[in-house]
Amino acid sequence: MSRRQKDPLRPLSAEERAQLERLSRAKAEPAALVARAKALLAVANGHSFTDAARVAGRRSGDAVAQLVARFNRMGIAAIEPGHGGGQPKRYSLRAQERILGEVRREPDRERDGTASWSLTTLQRALRRAPDGLPTVSTFTIWCVLHEAGVHWGKDRSWCETGTAIRTRKSGTVTVRDPDAVAKKT
């Protein structure tokens, strides 16, 4: 006989059940999300945590118990994976915007010592600024830029992903690809 569940699953709303059923049948979603949805539906249908783990193709009933507790607290967002390990993000959204603002600024040859930004010159400028980031690394700058869709171009400059400067008879124009985000992922 199994032990009594410490934190049983709360009753599902109709919307949550529909979302879980859709996710459990999805072929294009990550396998971990599908397995979590199947486990939660099995628990909602009256299975034990161990049986729900087996239905979802997993081994551990304890992992299902933790998923159920997280689902009771967070709702459907509990299905999404959390932080995958490693160092937590040290820089807030404001700090990330500060980095992006510095990239968008045209460098001053006298003050910044460069005509175009590199990771090192960006780091130096951010560390020297009074409202800057005194311990920012070049890797952090690179991560923030890539998350924002900015990449290093062949002409040794930072460009937004999905934009291109084209020369026309009427002059130079900036062309934006509306599907750039979809193509990136």
Whole-angstrom distance, CA of residue 136 vs CA of residue 96: 11
Average pLDDT, the chain: 86
C-alpha distances out from residue 135 to 24, 66, 98, 125, Å: 44, 37, 14, 12
Return phi, psi of residue 158, to 5°: -90, 130
Would you state the pLDDT for residue 91? 84
Would you state the pLDDT for residue 181? 60
Pairwise pLDDT comparison (175 vs 138), residue with the higher score = 138
Whole-angstrom distance, CA of residue 98 vs CA of residue 150: 15
Percent of the chain with pLDDT over 70: 89
Across 144-166, average pLDDT: 75
Would you state the pLDDT for residue 146? 86
pLDDT in tens, 104-124: 888 888 988 888 888 999 999
Give the range with max mean pLDDT: 85-89, 91-95, 135-139, 160-164.
Answer: 135-139
Percent of the chain with pLDDT over 90: 50
Would you state the pLDDT for residue 1? 45
Would you state the pLDDT for residue 20? 94
C-alpha distances out from residue 151 to 34, 57, 144, Å: 33, 40, 11
pTM for the structure as a whole = 0.53
pLDDT in tens, 36-81: 999 999 999 999 999 999 999 999 899 999 999 999 999 999 998 8
Q: 185: pLDDT confidence band, cut at 50, 70 and 90?
A: low
